[in-house]
Copies of this chain bind each other. A is one copy, B any other.
């Protein structure tokens, strides 16, 4: 084969690939419901009660999955605070539209007991090579690579570089002042708008809301600086905050998360990257990290013994 035939062969091969892609993108992509209905039980991971928080607001329960792999000292400190009843009777003090809802000890009046007031920053894991990283194929403007670690959205600086939780919708972090060590878990926030990824590596995320986001997003907005309430009467009370393990089994919310290392999750990502169905006419061929849905469902009841 001479140079010219080789070149032609390359062009033909490339156009064959393009045709295959065109054919593929004109096929209907499965819906999320269809993908989840076809998933196997082993592709789901039950929430660990030792790493699950329940925040009871008057309107309902917010369920938060903690991520101790990324912020071990902060997560331990939050558990210590929760054990002592630190948050009970405190309130949601800040709702900044399109940004965050924040709650906890805004006045810094609560007793810390054995919990730490200052914690060395856990904004990233310096060497992410030991983390089980499920990469997305898409370019990410805020990280060299993006993907998931145990179904949490993560950015990383390559396979041996730093890795960090990403500020996607529903992620929960520990508020801090200018001192990077001042975030101790006494004030927590959840992202309620467009992902503020500029916060990545500047503040520690500690987990993610897996159920009850609406109880944080449908609150009245605050109109003082940064969305704090001018009038403290506007605050929503925190009835209680508990570790799921400390709640009787009958009062828990049994949830499971689709594993990001599962075939069904990969199918879901592929379908979302290339939506094409009775409604979607033009697939994006791309998905941003924070646009990937991370399915959560009630743990199916086991079939009764017969």
Interface residues of A in 210-225 (CB under 8 A from B): 213-214, 217-221
Decide if A214 touches B221 in the complex (CB within 8 Å). yes
Interface residues of A in 127-169 (CB under 8 A from B): 138-142, 168-169
Q: Which of A34-42, A63-71, A273-281 contacts B (4 or more CB under 8 A)?
A: A273-281
A95: which B residues are within 8 A, CB to CB? Answer: 218
User: How many Å lie between the Cα of A149 and that of B227 in the bound state?
Assistant: 29
When all copies of this chain in the complex are counted, the total is 2
> A290 to nearest B CB, angstroms?
5
Given contacts A97-B217, A178-B279, A214-B221, contact A284 B197 (CB under 8 A): yes
Given contacts A201-B282, A202-B280, A221-B218, contact A170 B98 (CB under 8 A): yes
**Interface SS majority for chain A:** loop
Decide if B278 touches A178 in the complex (CB within 8 Å). yes
Given contacts A168-B194, A169-B194, contact A97 B284 (CB under 8 A): no
Which of the four size classes fits the interface of chain A? 35 or more
* Cross-chain contact of A200 among B196, B198, B221, B284 (Cβ < 8 A): B284
Interface residues of A in 164-209 (CB under 8 A from B): 168-170, 178, 180, 193-198, 200-202
**A272 beta carbon closer than 8 Å to chain B:** yes
Q: Which 10 A-B pairs have the closest CB atoms?
A: A214-B221, A141-B286, A169-B194, A198-B284, A178-B278, A97-B214, A201-B282, A194-B290, A98-B169, A178-B279
